[in-house]
A and B are shown apart, each in its own frame.
Chain A
Amino acid sequence: MSTDQLEDELRSAFTRAAAQITVPEQARHRLLQRDYHPRSRSRRHRRLAELSIAGVAASTVLALGLAGVFGSASRTPARDSETIRTAAFTLTKNANGTATLTLTADQMFNPGALQQAMQQDGIPALVETDSYCSSSPAPPGAAWAATLSLQLPDGTPVSPNQPVPADAVTVINPAAMPAGTELFFGYFNSDRTLTGNLIYTSSYSCSSGLPSHGAG
């Protein structure tokens, strides 16, 4: 047995094996649609540095989850509501001024699309992937709680400290947002988890890594 013969067998075995590997279409789609360049983070970081914010406050974190909410996504919007619907999420502007956000499980999340939809609904928001942003000091917890909440389809509130029910939706109340704040949403690809937070537009910082679950 020559080394050449063995090497030929190895090449042949690899070729046969690799030919049987089918790249899943969803995986290919996710890989090619993902945004691999961040938006203006460095500019925002510089702004934070210039402001020299002192002190550290515990940030308020809401793990939104928003998984498996197909039933909610298919609800008929109220007559006087406006709905922005994509494969990955549905954003419904309700008659009372709130907005309902529903994510669809296993659909590729496009942060730019969600941020644009929020802006169209008049909700100032920053949406990132694999990044978590917070202000220090953080906006008052009461303002956060009034702005961002999880609800069951029947309107029952879901505590941020309890597991997120499969049919929960996120309700955003822009009217409760203090002046100078915006919503932050961070989607973590590795965990397929969406987190929400309220931040000061002019002073916040971002870091990679998933924040711990629940209010901090």
Chain B
Amino acid sequence: MEWVRDAASKRQFEGFAAEASDTLFRTGYLMTGDLKDAEDLVQETFLRVARRWSRVQSMDHPAAYARRILINLVLRDSDRRSRQKAELEPQGGGAEAADQYAARALRAVDDLAEFQWALAQLPARQRAVLVLRYWADLPVAEVAGILGCSAGTVKSTASRAAARLGAVLSSGESPAPEPATRQSGKEASDVHRPA
């Protein structure tokens, strides 16, 4: 395992971190809806990138590599909490009507809190597909590579996620129960913490 060692390499890593931190933070926040969780995710991502920096720095897009780590940290955490993978199963029917419904709801949303709340109602993998496809603006094939699934699964998941997002935004209520997402609160510890 290689760590950031020499001064020049360390400076390069610091430059990368300064450039990537805000985007990674926003990605983490969109995925978790929690500022502290987003910060923890970026920190863990930087630690992992630092361990492999000698290889990462020669990549065409180190930030994309970091984003991939961050997304997978969220998904790993989500998977640990719930082994349900049903949201990635292909599903058909009613797509056209759902799309119209979702588009109207998306046009109406104008508030981060509302959007973030609706996003948080989705399973982590659906959220990841939407974040990667429509915020990071990645092609289907790249999203499939990050999530380890087929392009078809990404497309069907994105479609269902969009419909679900639209339904949540329109109704203002949670949809049917979904696998748990990353918890925003930290468990109490018996050690003392700053106030």
Contacts and interface: CB of A to CB of B under 8 A. Distances in A.
Interface string B103-118: 1001101111001100
A10 B47 contact: no
B14 A32 contact: yes
B168 interface: no
B47 A23 contact: no
B77 interface: no
19 contacts: A1-B103, A3-B159, A11-B135, A14-B134, A17-B30, A17-B109, A18-B135, A21-B25, A21-B112, A23-B26, A24-B39, A27-B35, A36-B4, A36-B46, A37-B10, A65-B191, A105-B195, A192-B194, A193-B189
A166 interface: yes
B40 interface: yes
Given A9-B103, A10-B106, A18-B135, A28 B22 contact: yes
Given A20-B112, A36-B4, A66-B194, 7 more contacts: A10-B106, A18-B30, A18-B135, A30-B39, A64-B192, A166-B195, A193-B189
A191 B3 contact: no
A65 B99 CA distance: 53
Interface of B: 3-5, 10, 13-14, 17-18, 21-22, 25-26, 29-30, 35, 38-40, 42-43, 46-47, 50, 96, 99-100, 102-103, 106-107, 109-112, 115-116, 130-131, 133-135, 137, 159, 162, 186, 189-195
A136 B102 CA distance: 62
Interface of A: 1, 3, 5-7, 9-18, 20-21, 23-24, 27-28, 30-32, 34, 36-38, 63-68, 103, 105-106, 163-164, 166, 189-193, 195, 210, 212-213
Nearest to A69: B194
Given A18-B26, A31-B17, A164-B192, A12 B42 contact: no
A5 B166 CA distance: 14
A1 B99 contact: yes
